[in-house]
Chain A
């Protein structure tokens, strides 16, 4: 059975650094596959107008499609070209929760993420995704600087 690594991408440079490290790790492990995840922050407890609700399903499909095309697919193509085994998915929800849930579901060896890319104020109030993940994850987490 091959080892699985979960890589959190956010469409920015820090996500790329996480991926670069995951690739290095994957080579060291040998028989290893990567699972790329892009999380669209979303809460089922937010407030919306009736019109937003009516077109929500459509918007969700569009959001997933865009994230797949812009973030996940290019990364998967590049990994494939380099000879890595990788799959990817886009999910809605709380990033820390989703990364952990997918890691459990896939029985992953560890989660690789980059250091938080959020600004100071939001992080102070809500805590960063990375910090939440490190504190609550059920599998080891590697945070790339």
Chain B
């Protein structure tokens, strides 16, 4: 039996070589027909889904203002007023909850408020904060930053509402696991209030959530991560990135290789902190321009300073990118926050207030300030107006846009930072994918029931879409996935309007008990 080793070796080698050869042949075949196949897929896909994308991103009649942006902003405003500016009243309490001041020591070992918040944040902090903001300021000018911050502050109230409901109506199974999210609170909450259509809306939400998870939470991330890698290592086929990413994602979500997820979950917050620190350093290096930068932001917010669409142009970009980035009102965070250990759902709502604040008001603003302060946006010294290119975007100092613009801005002050940024983009993309694979899975099991095989089917589909997302340049597919994420918000906010009286009752009860001293701190 000694020679089996010799037989095995070539066998093993061929196991590795054949797939590579297979992919290589496939690649060359695809490369030859790439234009043809891609174009065909694009055509069929856009024909089938174009109406849906157009519907979601349609402008309000007679304007260039997408109704979906108005929908999110109106929602956030309604919740802000209905809960009497909860985002400003409860911030102090949110911080002491996250610190664990109100956590019962006997619950140690359960999911803490900090952990629920950190998990939800790692799902939202990502490309939106780096690439999205660059897009916002290059189209909408510095003024977009003002509207972005405002949208972030208002979005805190939407998050509060959805995360409270997420915890209140979560399912707790006999085996001790929990599942929560809009599909659960819409179906259970509507039934409780005697409202019709809860089941239908919940199913609709779950369908959009699966599409959003495969699209914006997966293909878009894979695609952008590949764009970053291709920028560093010269251009190479996207399927290579796709297969590697899919392999790692598969190892985590199917293979249960916790170590990879744990490493990411530890590195991502570190990257986030490093990003903010680098931004702060650059801002402080240019401390003499801070006043000027804020002047540009305020002037731009109300005059546009020459950007396409003026005030409205700046406003749309700011609102849209804030919504893209912090997902307030979309309902995804409600899924992430629902695993926390608490007997008071309101506490998690209060903690979730911090999420849009950190994501949008802090991180997005840092990106915008760095781009503005390092002088990436070119303006006419005579008039102070920004110079627009043919595509309607402000002409940038290096000609870069998107992630490239952010990278150029950081690179102009710290030469090696673009490499760190590239790593950050890839890790953020990965952690966003892991989070969205879970959101999609929850929607999937809501529709098809829990079970090992059913879950495995979704996870495999998810991994396949990683490869597709990285390999293909399917514009319509990505448009569609963005549309699906916003469609989640349409359903979710209808649900939130119908269920907000329940949240108010919870809030009043909690606040009065907090005031009377019935709810006490466990440590001082």
Asked if A44 and B438 sit within 8 Å, CB to CB, the answer is no
Convert A65-106 into 0s and 1s, putting 1 for each residue whose CB lies closer than 8 angstroms to a CB of B.
000000000000000000000000001110000000100000
Minimum CB distance partner of B106 in chain A: A91
Asked if B119 and A47 sit within 8 Å, CB to CB, the answer is yes
Of B176-184, B303-311, B357-365, B389-397, which stretch is located at the interface?
B176-184
Chain A CB within 8 A of B261 CB? yes
Minimum CB distance partner of B172 in chain A: A57
Chain A CB within 8 A of B114 CB? yes
Convert A41-80 into 0s and 1s, putting 1 for each residue whose CB lies closer than 8 angstroms to a CB of B.
0101111111111111110110110000000000000000
Asked if B176 and A55 sit within 8 Å, CB to CB, the answer is yes
Chain A CB within 8 A of B380 CB? no
Which of A46, A50, A91 is the most central at the interface, judged by chain B CB atoms within 10 Å of its CB? A50
Asked if A53 and B339 sit within 8 Å, CB to CB, the answer is yes
Min CB distance B214 to A, Å, is 17
Given A50-B339, A92-B108, A92-B109; A44-B177 close (CB under 8 Å): no
Asked if B115 and A51 sit within 8 Å, CB to CB, the answer is no
Convert B425-446 into 0s and 1s, putting 1 for each residue whose CB lies closer than 8 angstroms to a CB of A.
0000000001100110000000
Given A54-B177, A54-B339, A58-B175; A40-B109 close (CB under 8 Å): yes
Asked if A53 and B123 sit within 8 Å, CB to CB, the answer is no
Asked if B265 and A58 sit within 8 Å, CB to CB, the answer is no
Chain A CB within 8 A of B116 CB? yes
Q: How many chain-B residues does the 8 Å CB contact rule pick out?
A: 38
Convert B86-112 into 0s and 1s, putting 1 for each residue whose CB lies closer than 8 angstroms to a CB of A.
000000000000001001010011111
A16-44 residues at the B interface, CB under 8 angstroms = 40, 42, 44
Q: Which residues of B contact A45 (CB under 8 A)?
A: 112, 114-115
B388-406 residues at the A interface, CB under 8 angstroms = none
Chain A CB within 8 A of B73 CB? no
Of the candidates A46, A51, A56, A58, which one forms a contact with B253 in the assembled complex, judged by CB atoms under 8 Å apart?
Answer: A51
Asked if A58 and B176 sit within 8 Å, CB to CB, the answer is yes
Q: Which residues of B contact A44 (CB under 8 A)?
A: 100, 103, 108, 112, 114-115
Of the candidates A54, A61, A93, which one forms a contact with B178 in the assembled complex, judged by CB atoms under 8 Å apart?
Answer: A54
Asked if A61 and B176 sit within 8 Å, CB to CB, the answer is yes
Asked if B109 and A60 sit within 8 Å, CB to CB, the answer is yes
A84 CA to B258 CA, complexed, in Å: 42
Asked if B109 and A42 sit within 8 Å, CB to CB, the answer is yes
Min CB distance A66 to B, Å, is 13
Asked if B119 and A50 sit within 8 Å, CB to CB, the answer is yes
Min CB distance B100 to A, Å, is 5
Q: Which residues of A contact B115 (CB under 8 A)?
A: 44-48, 53
Min CB distance A65 to B, Å, is 11
A42 CA to B115 CA, complexed, in Å: 12
Chain A CB within 8 A of B341 CB? yes
Q: Which residues of B contact A48 (CB under 8 A)?
A: 111, 115, 118-119, 262, 265
Asked if A55 and B177 sit within 8 Å, CB to CB, the answer is yes
Asked if B108 and A50 sit within 8 Å, CB to CB, the answer is no
Asked if B434 and A56 sit within 8 Å, CB to CB, the answer is no
Chain A CB within 8 A of B219 CB? no
Min CB distance A74 to B, Å, is 22
Q: Which residues of A contact B179 (CB under 8 A)?
A: 54
Asked if A50 and B100 sit within 8 Å, CB to CB, the answer is no
Asked if A91 and B108 sit within 8 Å, CB to CB, the answer is yes
Q: Which residues of B contact A93 (CB under 8 A)?
A: 105, 108-109
Min CB distance A37 to B, Å, is 13
What 5 pairs between A and B have smallest CB-CB spacing? A92-B109, A58-B176, A44-B112, A53-B339, A47-B265
Q: A47-B266, A49-B252, A50-B438 are in contact. List 17 more A-B contacts (CB 8 A).
A: A44-B108, A45-B112, A45-B115, A47-B265, A48-B111, A48-B265, A49-B258, A50-B123, A53-B115, A54-B177, A56-B110, A56-B341, A57-B177, A57-B341, A60-B109, A60-B110, A91-B108
A-B CB contact pairs (8 Å), 23 listed: A42-B108, A42-B109, A44-B100, A44-B112, A47-B262, A47-B266, A48-B111, A48-B115, A50-B336, A50-B339, A53-B115, A53-B119, A53-B340, A54-B438, A55-B176, A55-B177, A56-B110, A57-B176, A57-B341, A64-B109, A91-B108, A92-B109, A93-B109
